[in-house]
Every structure is written in C-alpha cells, then in structure tokens.
Structure 1
C-alpha cells in the first residue's frame, strides 16, 4: 500500500496550488487524486473543432484591484490577461413583445480581468511546474479511515474498475465541503456539528448553467454594442462578450441561464440551446443565428460539483471550519476547497487562499 505524508483529494485549482506550494517547501511526498478524467475541477473549457481556442465554462474573471495576491500569482506565472470587453451600449430585455432597450454602457469597477488563453491555462501552467508523478485522474475517493497515526484513503480507479488504498499522515480536502460530505465516508464519523456546517455551505457554480456561442467575428461590436445584456425574459438572464481578447480571431457570447436546475433537466439540453440561440437572434439580429459552435455546461448536472442541496439559488454564509476540533480527525484533515477561504470563498482567489491556509496548517503541524 502506498504511504505518503499528504493526500490531496481534488485536482482543481486549490488542490494543484497546494501541491505547488508543498513542492516550493521541498515536500514532494504527496499523493493527489482527482475523480474527474482531467485536472481543473470547476475550471473547464470548451474548444471548438479545428481551433485552439479555449472558452471558459466555469470561472473566468478575477479582479486585481481587490485580489492583488491572485493578480500577482498570474503575473508570477507570466500569464497574459486582458480586461473584460465592455465598450459600447448594453441591452435590456424586459418583454418578448418589446424591442430590447439599448442603454449607455458603463465601465465595470473594479475591472474584471480574464486570461488571454482562458482560465484553463492557469491549470496547465501549475500542472507543468509540478515534479511529483503521483498525480492521478479518474480516482474517486470513497472513504477516509483513521487508523493509529494514519489516514487510510480508499478510492475507486474508474480506468480499470478497481478499489485501491493508500495511507497518509494528513489529508487536504480540495473539494467543496458539501460534496465531501456526500461523496466520502468518514470512519469514525466527523463531529455532527461540523458535518452540518459543511453540508450547509453552498457550492459556488453548482446551481448554474452557462451557454456559449462562438462566431467568426464579434458582429455586435460593429453595432456599437458591448455584448452585455440583462434580460427579464430569458432563458439567459445575463450575457457578456466571451471573446478571448480585444481583437479576437474567434468571437463568442456567453450567458447565465436563469431556468432553475430541475426545470433545465426536464426541458433537456438541446431544447435549451435552441431557446438560447433564439434569444441571441432577438437581441443581436440574424447574424447570431449561425454560431460556428455552441454548448451548455450545466453545473447542476455535474456529479463532482453539485448535490441535491445545490439545486436552490445560492445563499452563502461565512466559510465553515476547515478542520474538526477535539476529534480524532483534528490533526489529520484540512479543508482547502475555495469555499473554505476566509476572504474570497468560492472565487478563484479563494481557491489559492484556502490552499495557502491549508499548507500553512500542515507545515505547522508536521514540519516544525
């Protein structure tokens, strides 16, 4: 059985950044297990056929003015960024029976920034900096078991359909608190108060669905429109220009779908895509009728993001405790998913913040 100092459960931004921070401290004796078939967690992208473009399906923005540490990380990794396009007028859609209102656009404050190659390049950059080879996808952790001074990590290898085990001194939970409670059996059980606190912590992105349509050029800009829309009609309630730079080779629009999760499931993805396309035609004209590619990412249907508790609208509270107190788990378990961040829970900056806090705790416990 493999024995490691640390087991990192989850290969999204927080898990990968924790691995990076450990390696910066000279610690490579860790195991990272990701349930999905690829790294990135909620950072996922859409690449149309015959292109190299990566359009964000998950988080896309960061705000240097209020998240300077995250912005510095982007600079340190030498990743190019640009401001969200907001030049031109925006549209307000109030009714199907009325032409959308065109109003003067406004400059977003603080400035929303995006990565030129999509947020997936952050995952790629961190992954390429790691030297440890014990980073594995398609490995879903099903049980954590305390035994003597170790944690036995039980996981299912979906590639060869086998159950496997490893041991570690400490576990860093790099997934949402609510999802950890749903997917992982803890033996012995976590304290009931902590279990309830984790279950009551909403998962960012989980109730959301995003639609993206890709075009050969940003024709809305030719109409002096920014691509920004607010709609009381739907199905998309908020729309933005999703092109990858200010002078895009491929242009795109994306929107947040306002239909509740269960209704989306009942209607079906293809029908919702058709409704979204019809809405873009209403807003921007017939040029919007023929995207070169389009898709929906419904996070509520993602088993490694959402639970049934996440089908409701987001209602966020303060970050829950990262670890149990006065429990056999106290010295062996730390939550580092973005929801555990104290300053920016749920955001990209929260993922790196929570990873830093988790690694600091591990270092204080084990590397004195």
Structure 2
C-alpha cells in the first residue's frame, strides 16, 4: 500500500492541533483532517468572546504553558461583587457574596487565539471541510475515507469525541461528550454597568432559559459582556433569544435587555460536536478513561484523558499521551514506499 502521509490526525480541535505541532517539531510528516470549515473544534471565539470553553484553572499547567509559549496573556475572571439567584417561581435575590468562578483564568482576546496560532503553523497540512466517513485498518496502515477522497497513512490519530467515531465504523464506548448538549449566549454592552450596583455578573437561575450567567467582559473593562449557559434544549426554541434578553433584563436591569451585540452557539445542533445522545447532558462530570490504541489507531480527544478529561487541559493531556505512543511505536518513514 502506498501512503499519502506518515500520521493522519482526524480532528483539528485543541488536542489534534497540539499533537500535530509536536509531531511536526519532531520532523514527522502528517496531515490533519477537520470536518468543520475552521480549526479549533469546541474552541470558538467571536469578537474576542468565547462561545465554547472560557476558563483555565491555575493548576492546569499544560494549557497555561501553551498560552505563555504563544505569547498570550491570561487574566483572572472578574469576581468582585454579589451573585444573583433566581428560583423557579421567579423570586430574585441579589445579596449573595459568592463568585463560583473566582480564581479562574481567561485568555485575553479569547481562547481561539491559541487554536488559531496552532492551526496557522500547520500550513498546507491542515485540510478543512473534510468530514471523515470511514476508518479501516489494514496490514500495512490505515485507510481514512472522506466525501472527497481516501487517505492512506501508517497510523491514524482520532482526536475527537468517541461518540463521533461510531459512525466511522469504529467500535468504541458510548462515552458522553462533555458540554456537547449545551448552548451559550453572549450579550455585549458598552461597559460592565452591573458592577456599579455591586454585582459581579454571576447569576444562577432555576427559571431560565439561561441557567448560569457570568461576566465575560475584557480585562480592561473597555466593554461589558455577560454570557449564559442555556438550560438543555432551551436554545432550540424560536423565541430563545427574546426570552434570554428578558431574563437578563429582569436580573441585571433594563439595560441588560438591549445589548449592542449578541452571539449564540448551540453546540447540541453542531454535527461535528454532538450526537442525539449528547442532547441529554450527564448529571455529573463523567469519569473519563484512556482508550486503548490498536495496532494502527490512537485515540486523543479530551474525553480520553483520565485526569483532566472534558477540559482544555484534558485535550493536551490526551495529545501528550498520543505523542508518547507514536514516538515509542512508530519507526521512521524512510523505508516505506509512498506516492
């Protein structure tokens, strides 16, 4: 079998991009296939505001080191002030001295600055809008099929949620994809005016449609922003945006109901993120475990990370494990006949 490349990585999220960068630095030949028309996976920023993951915790040394190596700055999540609580009947309290995300860190300009930088470094090795439909091992390598063509490689790395591998013909566990069933709304204002009232931007609501709200403003306060996680399924309603703005207005005042801009991302309807099973979120953070590699396939999504599974740090943890496996088990390509 003639080969197109040495290592083929399926998925250009943080894990796949970080692994590709490490392999290229070591002189390996590779290609990265991504179903979406952009790199980044579940990392997505709009106008510098994060529509996917937003936080890094101080103990997550891999992602903090990567941000630092890329010359990006982090800052602490705003936490000064009081939290708002709304019960199911609509009663509201604004006197709670709580900040659930105090101590978390954010990347200035949005987390997509990390994935964008990694993707840029790959150049022509990154192939967008190539959704994989099948993966098959052979005695000499692996064949990966997309709508456009078939790719052949010595080894393939699946850097994506396990549930997305099943339609490719791979028998993997039905592992929940963390946060895949959620939607996120960001409302942008000229300034973080809620802070004037002693509020920190945090809110917990049992009424919805937003279940949890936080301050998403830039560090310097040159603009204000609130983001909210929608209750499962709420974003599918036609009046979701209207109801969300009404909720922001009743919690933070009339100004919150008239943002200068608004961004919404419903991850549960994104076929490159979620399956139908992901629209019913797990009740608690799943216990993630490594997926044992086969002779030709390695698994490297964040849901395969045993310590930080589901998080950005887990994506890098899984990428590190895949890199070690490839380094230990794959011999140089020089002896292989290729096209």
State the TM-score, normalizing by the size of structure 2. 0.92
- Shift in alpha-carbon separation, 1:108–1:148, aligned structure 2, 3 A: closer
Distance in 1, matches of 2:100 and 2:244, equals 26
* 1:175 CA displacement: 0.5
2:242 counterpart of 1:274: yes
**8 Å contact 2:290–2:305 — kept in the other structure?**
no
- Shift in alpha-carbon separation, 1:118–1:209, aligned structure 2, 3 A: same
| Cross-structure match for 1:17 | 18
The partner residue of 2:169 within 176, 179, 185 is: 185
Q: How many residues align?
A: 330
* 1:320 CA displacement: 3.8
* 1:178 CA displacement: 1.0
The partner residue of 1:284 within 242, 248, 252 is: 252
Distance in 2, matches of 1:117 and 1:264, equals 26
Distance in 2, matches of 1:16 and 1:322, equals 19
Q: CA RMSD in A?
A: 1.8
**8 Å contact 1:345–1:351 — kept in the other structure?**
yes
* 1:222 CA displacement: 1.3
| Cross-structure match for 1:323 | 292
Report the 3-state secondary structure (helix = DSSP H, G, I; strand = E; otherwise coil) of the residue aligned with 2:136: strand
**8 Å contact 2:187–2:226 — kept in the other structure?**
yes
The partner residue of 1:343 within 302, 307, 319 is: 307
Runs of 4+ in 1 over 4 A off after TM superposition: 106-109
Distance in 2, matches of 1:290 and 1:85, equals 22
Report the 3-state secondary structure (helix = DSSP H, G, I; strand = E; otherwise coil) of the residue aligned with 1:139: coil
Q: Residue deviations 1:239-286, cap 9 Å, x none?
A: 1001121x232211001111x32x543x23xx1111110011101111
The correspondence of residues 51-62 of structure 1 with structure 2, limited to 5 A, is 53-62=47-56
Distance in 2, matches of 1:153 and 1:238, equals 40
Distance in 1, matches of 2:38 and 2:99, equals 38
* 1:331 CA displacement: 1.6
Distance in 1, matches of 2:80 and 2:108, equals 18
**8 Å contact 1:100–1:283 — kept in the other structure?**
no
The partner residue of 1:82 within 71, 75, 78 is: 75
- Shift in alpha-carbon separation, 1:347–1:166, aligned structure 2, 3 A: same
The partner residue of 1:63 within 42, 57, 64 is: 57
| Cross-structure match for 1:4 | 5
The partner residue of 2:141 within 146, 150, 175 is: 150
| Cross-structure match for 1:50 | none
Distance in 2, matches of 1:225 and 1:86, equals 9
2:250 counterpart of 1:257: no
2:261 counterpart of 1:297: no
**8 Å contact 2:186–2:262 — kept in the other structure?**
yes
| Cross-structure match for 1:117 | 109
State the TM-score, normalizing by the size of structure 1. 0.85
The correspondence of residues 17-36 of structure 1 with structure 2, limited to 5 A, is 17-27=18-28, 29-36=29-36
| Cross-structure match for 1:159 | none
**8 Å contact 1:241–1:254 — kept in the other structure?**
yes
Q: Residue deviations 1:347-367, cap 9 Å, x none?
A: 000001101100110111114
* 1:313 CA displacement: 2.0
Distance in 1, matches of 2:50 and 2:99, equals 23
Distance in 2, matches of 1:285 and 1:92, equals 14
Q: Residue deviations 1:195-236, cap 9 Å, x none?
A: 3x2x2x110121111111111111101111100111121111
